[in-house]
Chains A and B, each alone.
Chain A
Amino acid sequence: NAGVTQTPKFQVLKTGQSMTLQCAQDMNHNSMYWYRQDPGMGLRLIYYSASEGTTDKGEVPNGYNVSRLNKREFSLRLESAAPSQTSVYFCAGQREYAGELFFGEGSRLTVL
């Protein structure tokens, strides 16, 4: 089992470019999450998906969109990247009715 897999691991973008971060899990999790982690700010929730076909905004959704393609995959899209979106992005899966999240290794994004 790979757990939670994120691609790409590293990406450099120019301001205004778009890109999609991919996340796939093989742990049969119903819920999936996207967080960003910045120095001194901790992990902040961008979007989450309680189940296949549903998505909801988290604490910092502006500038992002998500797609829950199927039970396994949950992607995060930046339509027009800004330097403020330079961060480390983590995808996580969660078992139904259990609290712990299982995280991927992260995607490190730099926007110039």
Chain B
Amino acid sequence: EDQVTQSPEALRLQEGESSSLNCSYTVSGLRGLFWYRQDPGKGPEFLFTLYSAGEEKEKERLKATLTKKESFLHITAPKPEDSATYLCAVQERAGTASKLTFGTGTRLQVTL
């Protein structure tokens, strides 16, 4: 059974204070690892897909990296608008409709 564990559960940063969110996973064969952002009262918004160990992707102040057991979402010089819950999900290498298994998320708050 696929498992995804995210840490920390909650993180409070000051504006400009860089940090990383962790996503540890167990899957029999990884097809892809996904990062989403979710704002209160909204649906998850897709950020990145990573497919193989060593891969990195960037978008503005966010950079996602992947190893064989975990992924990190690095946030550089965050701003208050980066406050949200960040979700990690894994997709198993099987079938054509490959469902995603999600972690419980990290709630990020960035203050002035």
Query: Which A residues lie at the B interface, using CB under 8 A?
Result: 4, 30-31, 33, 35, 40-45, 48-51, 56, 58, 90, 92, 94, 96-97, 99-106
Shortest CB-to-CB span from B31 to chain A, Å, is 6
Compute how far the CA of A58 lies from the CA of B99 in the bound complex, rounded to whole angstroms: 9
Known A99-B34, A99-B49: A40·B96 in contact at CB below 8 Å: no
**Is B44's CB under 8 angstroms from A100's CB?**
no
The size of the chain B interface, using a CB distance under 8 A, is 25
Cβ-defined partner of B46 (8 Å) among A41, A44, A45, A102: A102
CA A97 to CA B97, docked complex, whole Å? 8
Q: Are B100 and A101 in contact (CB under 8 A)?
A: yes
Q: Is the CB of A48 within 8 A of B97?
A: yes
Please list the residues of chain B having a beta carbon within 8 angstroms of any beta carbon in chain A. 4, 31-32, 34, 41-46, 49, 87, 89, 91, 95-105
Given contacts A100-B46, A102-B46, A105-B43, contact A42 B104 (CB under 8 A): yes
Q: Given the known A-B contacts A100-B34, A105-B42, are A31 and B102 also in contact in the complex, defined by CB atoms under 8 Å?
A: no
B43 contacts A50, CB within 8 Å?
no
Interface on chain A toward B: helix, strand, loop, or mixed SS?
Answer: strand
Q: Give chain A residues whose Cβ lies under 8 Å from the Cβ of B102.
A: 35, 42-44
How distant is the Cα of A42 from the Cα of B86 in the complex, in angstroms?
Answer: 11
CB-defined contacts of A30 to chain B, threshold 8 Å? 97
| A104 x B104 contact (CB < 8 A) | no
**Given A99-B34, A99-B91, A90 and B96 touching (CB < 8 A)?**
no
The reply to whether A90 and B97 form a contact with Cβ atoms under 8 Å apart is no
Known: A40-B104, A45-B99, A50-B95. A101 touches B42 (CB 8 A): no
Q: 22 A-B pairs, CB-CB below 8 angstroms?
A: A4-B43, A30-B97, A31-B97, A40-B104, A43-B87, A43-B102, A45-B99, A45-B100, A49-B97, A50-B97, A51-B97, A56-B97, A92-B43, A94-B97, A99-B31, A99-B49, A100-B34, A100-B49, A103-B44, A105-B43, A106-B42, A106-B43
